[in-house]
Amino acid sequence: MRSRVPRVVTASALVVSLALAATPAVAAATPAAGRSDTTAQRARLQELARKLVDAGAPGVIVRVDDGRGRPVEIAAQAPWTRRDHLLTAADEYRMGSNTKTMMATLVLQLVAEGRLALADPVDKWLPGKVPGGTAITLRMLLNHTSGLFDYTKDAAMRRSMLGTDRRRWTSEKLLALGVKHAPLFAPGAKWSYSNTNYAAIGAVLERVTGASLADLVRDRIARPLGLEHTYFATDGTWRGTHAHGYEPDAAHMPPGVPAGFRHFAGPRRHGHVDVSGNDPGWGGAAGAVVSSTRDWSRFFTALMSGTLLPAAQLAQMRTTVPVDPRQPDGPGYGLGIQTGPHPCGTFWGHDGGIPGYLTVNVTDRAGGRTAMVLVATESWIEFETDPKIAEAAGALQTAAICAMFGKPAPAAG
């Protein structure tokens, strides 16, 4: 689904819509291919990253680990961005809705400890905060079958997303913004992506543990795994060297973008606005985590291999509902994680979009292979205004997924 506004997630099926685009046939790699395959994949990914920059992306980071040796890491950037920062593959960046995978992990850890149950109605933990909350379970929040309206579609959120309003948003305030609207459908009736679901999850986590989301991410995930560049952002500051994210300035914004979304706050750069200093706190439990490709790869490996969750809870996370009821065997959404078929193999993961940062992060079922792609601009996908970037990003994402599975990247078609 798309909201036509810059929201935390660009489209929950972004990985599916881009990676499943028709591609030339790919052949399986043979064991004898070894290092020559890696060299060819690196060259192909470098070529596609550069094409994406040439198409208009200010910066691109790619990291692919096929589980057979040294990962491929690539950074490419437009020359005009170098005055702000020399981009590297190790840089921190905003993860947007990939945050949901971490929030679901935290919930499932508490389920394993007997402190929560997926069948708990939200009203048990947030009494009176969600209309109809006796019929909406934590599972429905996690897999987007609650029917709750998406708070990022409310006009009151617009200035925060653009960076012109510095107010502090809490989980409960974000939840209240979403539930003041009528629900889209009865709880459990179907699937519809809504960031309000995870605002509710954030409020539940805080209520049950008595800890902040920042502390929970730090103490339950980042520190145990040694993720030095992973944290829940509480303001617009960064802890390490970071990728700068940009959006077109008002004079260069494509004509398809509504007037209300053309004026981002931040320093002007070469027809763009550097939005890196804007506060992502409005993303909350739906999208405020910062990380890096290396950290996220380690997180995925720990998650999917069972280090972070017992087998029973990991199985619950992987239990999916169809994203499209017309394709019951097609793309699915589990608890904070997506899955879908691909010409090179079935992937698991998530995507995320927050101003300045469009990310796709995928892994295989066991977590032994990972692929991450960052594009340092995001509004193009929200409003479908730049087909050149869209085509180049789709080609790079597809090639990264194939490289993750140890298969040749598709030839240009």
Q: What totals of helices (H) and strands (E) does the chain contain, helices first?
A: 15, 14
The pair of structure tokens assigned to 295 is 């950290």
CB 330 within 8 A of CB 323: yes
CB 193 within 8 A of CB 150: yes
Give CA angle at 9 (6, 10), nearest 5°.
60
Query: Which sign does the torsion angle of CA 166, 381, 231, 267 carry?
Result: negative
Task: Please indicate whether residue 97 is annotated as part of the active site.
Answer: yes
**Neighbouring residues of 339: CB distance < 8 A, sequence distance ≥ 6:** 318, 320, 331, 332, 333, 346, 347, 348, 349
CB 193 within 8 A of CB 9: yes
Strand ranges, E, within 245-368: 246-248, 268-269, 272-274, 289-291, 321-322, 332-333, 338-340, 347-354, 357-363
CB 248 within 8 A of CB 379: yes
Residue 30: phi, psi to the nearest 5?
-100, 155
The pair of structure tokens assigned to 143 is 């897999």
Q: Which of the residues 3, 12, 17, 97 is marked catalytic?
A: 97
Burial (Cβ within 10 Å: 0-12, 13-18, ≥19) of residue 178:
buried
The packing angle between helices 387-404 and 34-54, to 10°, is 170
**CA separation, residue 117 to residues 58, 124, 130 (Å):** 44, 11, 18
Edge-to-edge strand list for the sheet holding 289-291: 93-94, 289-291, 231-232
Amino acid at 107: V
Query: What are the residue ranges of helices labelled H in 76-120?
Result: 99-112
Supply the residues annotated as catalytic: 97
